[in-house]
Amino acid sequence: MEEKIIKMLQEINEDIIDYQGENMLADDLIDSFGIIQIIANLEDAFDIEIDAADVTTENFGNKNKIFGFIKSLITE
């Protein structure tokens, strides 16, 4: 799962992989087009549905947060 997500993030911006901060949206690593692309790719790859309510810094702040969030959706 993590490999798949890393590949997706790399396609948007390679810097996301090394990013150590808490909010990659605020730190301009990813723009609005990037975030919706990631959401769409995640939904297609893992056959999940992501709600607007879930698009938060807590879930999409960095790659580890995305791993955790997707894991929680898959195991739910």
Partner 1 sequence: MNYISLSFAIFLISLLTVYALTPNQHKWKVLLLFSIIFYAMSGLDKLLFILGTSLIVDAAALRMDKIWTEFDNACGEEQLQASTKRELKKKYAKRSRQILSIALFLCIGILFWCKYGVKTVSFINRTAGTSLTAKIIVPLGISYYTFSSIGYLLDVYWRKVCPSSSYPRLLLCMIYFPHIAEGPISRYNRLLPQLDTLTFPSYTRFTYGLQLMLWGCFKKMVIADRLAIFVNNVFNDIEANEGLIFPIALIFGAFQMYTDFSGCMDIVTGISDILGIQLDKNFQHPFFSQSAAEFWRRWHITLGTWFKDYVYIPITTSSFMRRLRKLSSKKFGDKGSKYMLTTVPTMTVWLLTGIWHGTGKNYIVWGLYWGILIVSGELLSDKLNILSERLHINTNRMEWRVFRTLRTFTLYAIGGLALFPKNLEASLLVAKRIFSTFNIWIFWDQSLYSHGLDRRNFILAVLSILFLLLADAAAERVNVREKIAKRNIVIRWCIYYIGILAVLIFGIYGPGYDPQAFVYQQF
> Contact at 8 Å (CB) between 12 and 37?
yes
Q: Report the nearest approach of partner 1 to the CB of residue 17 (Å).
A: 20
For partner 1, the closer CB: 6 or 34 = 34
For partner 1, the closer CB: 3 or 33 = 33
Question: For residue 48, which phi and psi values (nearest 5 degrees)?
Answer: -125, 170
For partner 1, the closer CB: 2 or 43 = 43
Using CB under 8 A as the criterion, which residues of the chain lie in contact with partner 1 when the complex forms? 31-33, 35-37, 39-40, 43, 49-53, 55-56, 76
The rounded distance, in Å, linking the Cα atoms of 30 and 63 is 12
